[in-house]
């Protein structure tokens, strides 16, 4: 198994997912460089994880770090200006979600990577952290028949800080990007229409929306209804997947199967995958793609469809109409 020298761009809190996830697999990944324009943040994070090479300029990082793969953990509004130089340098990239705030820019990044023959993968770690992949396999086995609808609720209180407070796109961009991606994974189908309403609560300090209600229709005729709130004093994360012969009820750690007439689940599955473990697994998908030449399941090309759903939800809310895809 080949070992890769990895460099991380961005020294914010999300890098903990990468450092901790990669530390469990020293035979596969060695983080040798960190880059951030803020010298205090750079030194603090590099000292915490013992990173030997430290750069405040991206150009120096690219020229002198000697890395095999770059990880991008910068704020999403500056993704393009960070990704383009890395792609032009021929460095494979593992980038945090959403890999761009708009579909147009995401498509531009993906096309750039294609022209340069550089693979880009996206850290959609909730595919495994939330049991989307587990449910995908249960559905694929025909356990509940054709899925007719999915009802998803994700409500809690979340007050962000820093750069996120100024973003026009907030709750859906922070969490909806995970859920849209998960719906696609479960169904193995793409969306054909999206309708959304969103609002900003005074309970949260931010420029963007804190609450949203979204409905998505997929090509396989499944309807997904999704509720998001960052302003709720009550917390709940629950997904109900309704099939023609059974229903799955799930939170983060467990999936329960109900048949007609059941008062208790007839079957259950456990899912306990940390975000850190799932982050390593996502990175490893990119590494395997480098070794096999096969496109990773979490490629930027695949994630264009997830960003398209996110983009459509915002356009629907802004224009007060159904958006056809």
Domain boundaries, the chain: 4-123+277-297, 127-273+307-324
Chain Cα centroid distance, residue 258: 29
- Asked whether residue 257 carries a pLDDT value surpassing 90, the answer given is yes
pTM of the model: 0.96
Q: Note whether 4-123+277-297 and 127-273+307-324 share their fold.
A: no
Q: What is the DSSP string of 197-260?
A: EEE--TTS--SS-SEEEEEEEETTS-EEEEEEESEEEEEEEEEEEEESS-EEEE-SSEEEEE-T
Mean pLDDT for 43-55 is 98
- Please state, in angstroms and as integers, the Cα–Cα distance from residue 142 to each residue in 139, 230, 262, following that order: 5, 35, 19
What tokens were used for 274?
């940390």
Q: How sure is the predictor about 1, in pLDDT bands with cuts at 50, 70 and 90? A: confident
pLDDT the model gives residue 14? 96
Strands 191-199 and 147-157: unpaired
Q: Which of 73, 33, 79 is nearest to 56 (CA)?
A: 33
% the chain with pLDDT above 70: 100
Structural fold of domain 127-273+307-324: Dihydrodipicolinate Reductase; domain 2 (3.30.360)
Query: So what's the pLDDT on residue 322?
Result: 98
Cα–Cα distances in Å, from 92 out to 1, 84, 86, 141? 18, 11, 8, 34
Mean pLDDT score, 206-215: 98
Average pLDDT (51-56) is 98
Fold entry, domain 4-123+277-297: Rossmann fold (3.40.50)
**Tokens at residue 83, please?**
């990704």
C-alpha–C-alpha distance, residues 33 and 40, integer Å: 16
pLDDT, tens digit, 9 for 90 and up, residues 183-198:
999 999 999 999 999 9
pLDDT tens profile 298-308: 999 999 999 99
Average pLDDT of the residues in 137-161: 98
Q: Which of 87, 94, 96 is nearest to 118 (CA)?
A: 87
pLDDT tier at 148, thresholds 50, 70, 90: very high
Q: State residue 244's pLDDT score.
A: 98
H/E stretch holding 96 reads: strand 93-96
Q: Is the pLDDT of residue 242 over 90?
A: yes
């Amino acid at each position: 198994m080949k070992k890769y020298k990895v460099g991380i761009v961005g020294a914010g809190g999300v890098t903990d997912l990468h450092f901790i996830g990669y530390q469990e697999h020293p035979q596969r990944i060695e983080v040798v460089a960190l880059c951030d324009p803020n010298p205090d943040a750079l030194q603090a994070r590099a000292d915490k994880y013992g990173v030997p090479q430290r750069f405040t300029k991206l150009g120096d990082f690219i020229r002198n770090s000697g890395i095999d793969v770059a990880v991008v953990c910068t704020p999403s509004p500056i993704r393009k200006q960070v990704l383009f130089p890395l792609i032009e340098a021929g460095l494979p990239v593992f980038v945090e979600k959403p890999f761009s705030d708009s579909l147009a820019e995401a498509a531009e990044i993906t096309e750039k990577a294609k022209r340069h023959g550089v693979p880009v993968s996206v850290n959609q770690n909730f595919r495994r952290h939330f049991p989307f992949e587990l449910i995908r396999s249960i559905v694929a086995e025909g356990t509940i028949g054709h899925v007719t609808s999915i009802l998803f609720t994700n409500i809690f209180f979340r007050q962000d800080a820093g750069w996120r407070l100024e973003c026009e796109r907030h709750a859906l961009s922070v969490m909806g990007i995970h859920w849209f991606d998960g719906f696609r994974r479960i169904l193995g189908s793409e969306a054909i229409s999206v309708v959304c309403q969103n609002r900003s609560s005074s309970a949260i300090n931010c420029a963007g929306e804190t609450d949203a209600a979204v409905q998505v229709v997929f090509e396989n005729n499944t309807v997904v209804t999704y509720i998001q709130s960052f302003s709720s004093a009550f917390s709940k994360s629950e997904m109900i997947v309704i099939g023609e012969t059974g229903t799955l009820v799930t939170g983060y750690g467990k999936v329960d199967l109900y048949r007609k007439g059941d008062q208790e689940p007839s079957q259950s599955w456990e899912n306990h995958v940390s975000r850190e473990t799932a982050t390593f697994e996502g990175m490893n998908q990119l590494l395997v793609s480098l070794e096999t030449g096969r496109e990773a399941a979490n490629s930027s090309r695949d994630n264009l469809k997830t960003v398209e759903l996110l983009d459509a939800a915002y356009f629907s809310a802004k224009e007060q109409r159904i958006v056809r895809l």
